[in-house]
Structure 1
Amino acid sequence: MKNFRLAVVDTNPVQYRVPFWRYLSEHSPIDVTVFYATDVGLVPHRMDASRTTWVWDIPLLDGYRYEFVESLPVPLVPGPTANRLPLGLLRRLDRGKFDAMLVFGYQNGPALLGGSLAAILGIPLILRGESHDVGRRRTLRSKVKDLLLPWMLRVPDAYLAIGKWNRQYWEDRGVPPSKIWVALYAVDNDRFRRRLADDPERPQRLRGDWSVRAGETVFLYCARLEAVKAADLLLDAFARLESRGANAQLIVVGSGPQEDMLKRRARELGLRRVRWLGFVNQADLPFHFRAADVMVLPSRFEPWGLVVNEAMACGTPCIVSDVVGAGADLVAEQNTGLVFRHDDPLALTHALEMALDDRRRAVWRAAIPNVVDRASYRQNADAMADCIAHLNQQRDS
């Protein structure tokens, strides 16, 4: 029996969120309805200005209740999803008798309009955001935003923090701790496990395809090829590793605006053990994570980094920079990998060298299951149900 009715107002079907709506529908006391402003992600989409066109290969509309709402673009606001105003939302919310509304962030049309309508209709509003201040550059825009934000943050009735840095971000802007619930950012861990069980020999075959040598350590980069992700830093660090005779290989998964530049850089560095795989879709990613010995996310700034969750769902340790949000909750002090100083190729080289040790990696792998259990859909559903129950008790008192 469902105890609560939750309205989710989102920009479009997002591959990382949809499995959670399905989980709520099947395994929680929450009756969820998701209202989408656009259908981006359901049809082939060009990743960037170059060659790559893709569409997600996992179902995005199965197993939960959803509606696409009539929406209009907002002039002068970047798209293709954040600039939509779902004008058909009021009628649906009014008739839905919802116990709470969940929105994502505060800088997109669906969240802003949804939050305003929640206030008008008396629906308790829950905000889920990704921001943190670690490594964030203080620009004029960010300073102005920080002046205005405390006023905006009075509107939500509760916050679902994705981790400790995100919780600190809200508290530093005046949100009372009593209004914050921590629900660690999570992926569908069970889907990754099931996919690996479908073909348990596939990771070993991939290592054969990659011509992995005896005793060779395989490092995996899996992210867009853009400046903020710092793949260039990883190439520089890996070049130092190769120059020291390390038995290692680097697998690069992803595409993006820096792809051609990074391949030129690899040639200039004379890298011999780097393999470029391009974009790999969701159904095949688990095998790539399991085939690797370590996943590396060297970002110059990263609100979270769900690729860390994905790698750990497959049992793979991670090396991340010290501005990756997931590192604070899933890696640092958890002994599931290493955290290095961002934008420091020597620090990254040292981390890669430490990861060459088989025994150290075995210790990291042994610690991963406990971390995966903490960052799970079950934990998120429990936190959300507790939050909604509290808000309704508060409203009715």
Structure 2
Amino acid sequence: MDASNGPGGDERPGLAILLNGLTPYNVHLCARLGREMTDVRVHSVFTTSGSDWQEIDLPPEANAARFGHAETDRQEDWSTVRLSDIGRARRIFEHLRRHRVDAVVHCGYASLLHLRLIALCRAAGMSVFLRGDSNIKGEGRRRFPMSWLKKRLLGWAIRRCQGVMPMGEYGRQYFEKYGADLSRSYLVPFEPQYEKFTNVDRALVDPFGAEHDLSADRRRMLYCGRLVDVKRVDLLIDAFSSIAERRPPWDLVIAGDGPLRADLEARVPAALKDRVRWLGFCEVEQLRLAYHLCDVLVLPSEYEPWAVVINEACAAGLVVVASDVVGAARQLVRDRESGRIFRSGDVADLTDALLDVTDDATWGQYQGRVAGVLADWRRDADPVDGVRAALRAVGVLEEPRMNTDGHG
């Protein structure tokens, strides 16, 4: 464990954000909170040590501490109970108490570790908020008895929190189903470091394109993600195959890897093998280059709580086609205005959407609105604003004072 320095004589209120994974968007949020919320002592606590992003540097403003064991932290779930979580919860709680934390944002609830921490923090008088990317469209995937257990444990957690922090509208509906009071709901969505995806060096893009045979004279649809069942890449390959003859300038690019890769490669018709490019797993720095070699992002998932790749693609100026279960698409894609939403699992509906966005005139109209839709979302659902509103609601921060002219 790497513990941060003690608060000393700093009398600002203390905020802790508890995160499961050391991912780029989690680190970005911690850095923003530490940098922008100067009226609060921010403590970032990573409850696990395991990560797919081990090389990520933690900026000093994140004021981070890490707990856990990499070999056991790969999956947190109610179906896996580890007695060691009780001791780890106590160590994390003592860290919070030592640093005089007043409010805690729990990013997760699906483990004994989180439930124990919620109980300890509430008993100590800390204000507790529950943040998660779950959305209402993902309901129904669990069967009895896990659905019964989830209803009781999540309901228990929500009743002990002063508010919830969903990612978007589908998340609000999800928390409401389990008993949350939406008057105490604060949007704190995932977000990437937007400028990294908006601004790229063409001197890097062109060599990347040459390396992967992505010539400048072609138009491209991009899929980015794991190659597993729930992502429904098979649906995308079938839809692309059905429109390929009518859209000769367009190719399909698959960025990602997984157990289904061989089956998916075999699914591509022989006549289209040279129009489907397989990039394999891409690091963030590679992916941001890939966005700028493509025109449309397609996300055909049948289960997708949020999908930060949509935020990234919009920042890069891509038109997005996504299924109607994707959390980020609900907020960042206005159907037939800035992109397309299709019925999850419906290959005919996806095919129609692809035909629509690959029409030159339509693509231009949609693409011209992408930046404005993204700007609206960033204004209305800034995660730092959401955290600040939650702290004000429980009195950890004061409400902004009004000037005599009525303005803050």
Describe the superposition over 1:303-343 as per-residue Cα deviations: whole angstroms up to 9, x where unpaired: 11111011111111110011111111110358221101111
Structure 2 CA distance for partners of 1:150 and 1:347, relative to 1, 3 Å: same
Which residue of 190, 193, 196 maps to 1:191?
A: 196
2:65 corresponding residue in structure 1: 67
Q: Secondary structure at the match of 1:17?
A: helix
Structure 2 CA distance for partners of 1:312 and 1:265, relative to 1, 3 Å: same
The one-letter code sitting in structure 2 at the alignment partner of 1:31 is R
- Checking the alignment, whether the CA contact within 8 Å between 2:158 and 2:164 is kept in structure 1 is no
1:121 corresponding residue in structure 2: 124
- Checking the alignment, whether the CA contact within 8 Å between 1:186 and 1:376 is kept in structure 2 is no
Task: Give 1:171 deviation, angstroms.
Answer: 1.6
1:347 corresponding residue in structure 2: 349
- Checking the alignment, whether the CA contact within 8 Å between 2:109 and 2:154 is kept in structure 1 is no
Are 1:80 and 2:42 matched, yes or no? no
**Identity percentage of aligned residues:** 27
Q: TM-score, normalised by structure 1?
A: 0.85
1:390 corresponding residue in structure 2: 393
The one-letter code sitting in structure 1 at the alignment partner of 2:18 is V
Which residue of 166, 185, 208 maps to 1:161?
A: 166
Q: Secondary structure at the match of 1:224?
A: coil
Structure 2 CA distance for partners of 1:2 and 1:122, relative to 1, 3 Å: closer
Aligned residues: 376
Are 1:224 and 2:218 matched, yes or no? no
Which residue of 285, 288, 291 maps to 1:286?
A: 288
Are 1:34 and 2:32 matched, yes or no? no
- Checking the alignment, whether the CA contact within 8 Å between 2:342 and 2:349 is kept in structure 1 is yes
Aligned-pair RMSD on alpha carbons? 2.8
Q: Distance in 1 between matches of 2:246 and 2:70?
A: 57
Q: Distance in 2 between matches of 1:154 and 1:118?
A: 13
Q: Distance in 1 between matches of 2:11 and 2:304?
A: 36
Which residue of 173, 188, 200 maps to 2:178?
A: 173
Task: Give 1:20 deviation, angstroms.
Answer: 1.2
- Checking the alignment, whether the CA contact within 8 Å between 1:253 and 1:276 is kept in structure 2 is yes
Q: Secondary structure at the match of 1:134?
A: helix
Q: Distance in 2 between matches of 1:147 and 1:27?
A: 37
Which residue of 9, 18, 33 maps to 1:9?
A: 18
Q: Distance in 1 between matches of 2:43 and 2:318?
A: 34
Are 1:325 and 2:324 matched, yes or no? no
Describe the superposition over 1:162-203 as per-residue Cα deviations: whole angstroms up to 9, x where unpaired: 100111111222211221112343222123235x1xx13443
Q: Distance in 2 between matches of 1:393 and 1:68?
A: 25
Which residue of 13, 21, 25 maps to 2:30?
A: 21
Q: Secondary structure at the match of 2:126?
A: coil
- Checking the alignment, whether the CA contact within 8 Å between 2:93 and 2:121 is kept in structure 1 is no
Structure 2 CA distance for partners of 1:355 and 1:81, relative to 1, 3 Å: same
Task: Give 1:383 deviation, angstroms.
Answer: 1.4
The one-letter code sitting in structure 2 at the alignment partner of 1:10 is L
- Checking the alignment, whether the CA contact within 8 Å between 1:242 and 1:271 is kept in structure 2 is no
Task: Give 1:152 deviation, angstroms.
Answer: 3.0
The one-letter code sitting in structure 1 at the alignment partner of 2:277 is R
The one-letter code sitting in structure 2 at the alignment partner of 1:187 is P
Structure 2 CA distance for partners of 1:70 and 1:320, relative to 1, 3 Å: closer
Structure 2 CA distance for partners of 1:214 and 1:69, relative to 1, 3 Å: closer
Q: Secondary structure at the match of 2:101?
A: coil
**Deviation larger for 64-73 or 278-287:** 64-73
- Checking the alignment, whether the CA contact within 8 Å between 1:11 and 1:110 is kept in structure 2 is no
1:48 corresponding residue in structure 2: none
Q: Secondary structure at the match of 2:382?
A: helix
The one-letter code sitting in structure 2 at the alignment partner of 1:253 is A
**Deviation larger for 27-36 or 139-148:** 139-148
Q: Distance in 2 between matches of 1:96 and 1:305?
A: 34
Where does structure 2 lack aligned partners over 5 or more consecutive residues?
1-9, 77-81, 399-408
1:106 corresponding residue in structure 2: 109
Q: Distance in 2 between matches of 1:318 and 1:2?
A: 46
- Checking the alignment, whether the CA contact within 8 Å between 2:102 and 2:396 is kept in structure 1 is no
Structure 2 CA distance for partners of 1:207 and 1:362, relative to 1, 3 Å: farther
**Deviation larger for 126-135 or 231-240:** 126-135
The one-letter code sitting in structure 1 at the alignment partner of 2:307 is G
Which residue of 270, 295, 298 maps to 2:297?
A: 295
Where does structure 1 lack aligned partners over 5 or more consecutive residues?
46-54
- Checking the alignment, whether the CA contact within 8 Å between 1:56 and 1:282 is kept in structure 2 is no
1:131 corresponding residue in structure 2: 134
Describe the superposition over 1:54-76 as per-residue Cα deviations: whole angstroms up to 9, x where unpaired: x5554345542011236799xxx
1:234 corresponding residue in structure 2: 236
Task: Give 1:218 deviation, angstroms.
Answer: 0.3
RCO comparison, higher one (Cα < 8 Å, 6+): 1
